[in-house]
Amino acid sequence: MTLQEKPTSRNIPLPIQREVRQRCGFGCVICGLPLYEYEHMLDWANVHRHRAEEITLLCDKHHREKTSGLLPSEAVSEANANPYNLREGVSKPYNLHYTGSYCEVLIGSNVFITKDQGYGTVMIPVSIDETPLLAFILTDGHLLLNINLFDENNNPILMIKNNQLIYSVSPWDIQLVGRNLVIREASRKVLIDIVFEVPNKIVINRGRFLHNGVEILISPECALITNNKLLFKENNCSNCSGGIIIGHHFNESGAAVRVNNVPRYLGDRDEAIKWAKESIKEDFFT
């Protein structure tokens, strides 16, 4: 139990917020929507305290229904005991509002830009072994974001398919605050930090792209393949169908950077980060 008696404000302490998120499956306990608010089930005005077990997650709709009396407290307590996302194992799908004929991706300090060039226009900034980890599809004014994010064991953690966002509830912590999605594997260990700059841009601030034993480590200033110490910094790519393409792909055209042979599960991550810091004389990775 996490407890704070007689708090000085209505602001819920961050450790209690995290405990509530974990217990509730990172979404509204009733419908699973990843856009949520923290709700004191016993009503703040009555208790004036922050106890994790007395706080739950509700989306704006269900929060307003509970506040107005249209949603019984008993129904909220029942859902809190058996949250929607934990029952399903994944979050309720949420549609991102990407649109237009132009897109931009920022990975570290590397920029990828593409305009719609007719039917079949695709930009794949990151792909490993024929699996696009990040891609945009541009067709007839539609802009469709696609992401496949895995953990070190190739288990899917985050999937965005044609703008529809779904995430696993297995990570240690997940936060979607405003436009910023952060998934953490442990305290101070970020798996991905994404900003959805709709209608046409996505920013990867930091994190790790993992697949089939390959790791691409992202900092605000660069991207590093830790397996072979290959570093990318301040590159700009315009109207190129492929960005960082690693491993075998049937279509070998249109890549900004292609790395066919990468050692798998063999790279010394600490040594690669040390080398990167020494090479560029800046401490980008923490």
Q: Note the helical H segments in the chain.
A: 14-24, 44-47, 60-68, 73-81, 84-88, 269-280
Indicate whether 45 belongs to any domain.
Answer: yes
Verify that 185 and 64 share a domain, yes or no: no
pTM (2 d.p.):
0.89
For 200-250, how does the pLDDT look when each residue is reduced to its tens digit (9 = 90+)?
Answer: 999 999 999 999 999 999 999 899 998 888 999 999 999 988 899 999 887
Verify that 269 and 181 share a domain, yes or no: yes
CB 205 within 8 A of CB 105: no
End-of-domain residue from the set 88, 116, 146 = 88
For 81-119, how does the pLDDT look when each residue is reduced to its tens digit (9 = 90+)?
Answer: 999 999 999 999 999 999 999 999 999 999 999 999 887
Verify that 130 and 217 share a domain, yes or no: yes
Whole domain around residue 104: which residue ranges? 94-280
CB 235 within 8 A of CB 256: yes
Indicate whether 285 belongs to any domain.
Answer: no
- Count Cβ atoms below 10 Å from residue 273 Cβ, excluding itself: 19
Indicate whether 62 belongs to any domain.
Answer: yes
Indicate whether 51 belongs to any domain.
Answer: yes
